Amino acid sequence: MSDGFPPDDPADHRPLILLVNSGMNPQYREWGLRGLHREFRLWLLDAREATWDRPYLAGQTKVDALDLDEALDAAKELFKRMPFAGVLCYDEMRVHNAARIAEALGVPTSPSEAILACRDKSLTRARMTPDIPGSVRSTPVPDAAAAHRVAAEIGYPVVLKPRALAGSEGVARVDGPEQLDAQFAFTERAHFAEVERYAEGVLVEEYLDGPEIGVDAAVFHGEVEPVFISRKELDRPPTFEETGHFVSTDDPLLRDPEIVEVVRAAHAALGFDNGVTHTELRLTARGPRVVELNGRLSGDLVSYVGLLATGVDLLVAAARIACGERPDVRPRRRSSAAVRYFYPPHDMVVDDLRLDTDRLPPGIWEVTLLAEPGKRLLLPPGSFVKGRMAAGFAVGEDAAACDRSLKGLGELFHIRGRRIDG
């Protein structure tokens, strides 16, 4: 364990927050730290030496929060010297331990059991009993034989998903028993090194028809306030890779009473009462159904798109809640924004990636290149988020305007590389 950086300026009265893991990828996270830095001092708890994030930090203690005992000891020692106002974490793999740290220090948080119920999709389904609006039939299984039995009971098509991953990793639709063995092997192989393996590590769930949306909400003392709706693009079946997101400040779904009821019922069932959340729903013919409830800031740059559309920074809202303060999440602007992810034409090792910036379509706000020379890009299902070569952001008056801008952008990428076969 080591502390870094010179002492703070005593005249700096911004609240101090313990940030548990900032992330390795500035393309996905730097926008958030820029906003936090304007209003808070941040002390990082992370095993990785601060690099891109260092300008936004007051200091760092090098500890991995996955080692709860060591992280607790470090946090308690820090708290004696510099009593921070709250603990903040947007890392899916560490958000549960971050809540346990906050509990031990007596600073605001949702119960760690509620965070775990969000992390563990089997616990989510167990708490969302059939009488709760938005519940879904789901059973954890240990092997393919059990998956066959459960799928036959539920009825095809079904969805297989890992119990505790994120980013649509390993999630697949199965249309019949002849596909199940291969898809089960695909789902079972999906694994993050930082996630424990479960004896019943795969869920078999009923397939949900209809479009998929995300509801990003601020939760303060049990009051769930939806802030914006994101509409997802899913066009790489049989996987559920999200290839884009769209947010409009005036989306009518934000005021849909059935959607609001389902989101609030899910939070109550899981016991989540403080923080920001990202609830994924399918709008089925039988009404909204909960895909999952994430007890953290949304990933995949959805929150950044929401910021572009509404002017509301949900990461700043999360920090305020972590300090025990009700955030103001009323829209600052009324607009629409979208992100679309771009992929190489085939699996490759990148030699060169360029963007023709002289011909950017009107409405393009920003373009972020996600691949550098030497990076392996595998299309889904070979890889998911890591297979993207770029992200493009558009701002416009509506979805059609954003879509026109982003369609034109796709023609302006020039990528060369060595094809990966097999």
pLDDT tens for each residue of 174-217: 999 999 999 999 898 876 666 677 778 899 999 999 999 999 99
Cβ pair 60, 52 in contact under 8 A: no
Residue that has been written with the tokens 């993207």 in this structure: 388
Query: pLDDT tens digits, residue range 376-395?
Result: 999 988 887 889 999 999 99
Quote the CA–CA distance of 125 and 127 in Å, as a whole number. Answer: 5
Helix-strand-coil split of the chain, %, nearest 5: 30, 25, 40
pTM beyond 0.95: the answer is: no
pLDDT band per the 50, 70, 90 thresholds, residue 2: very low
Residues 6+ apart with CB under 8 A from 277: 118, 216, 217, 219, 224, 267, 293, 294, 295, 296
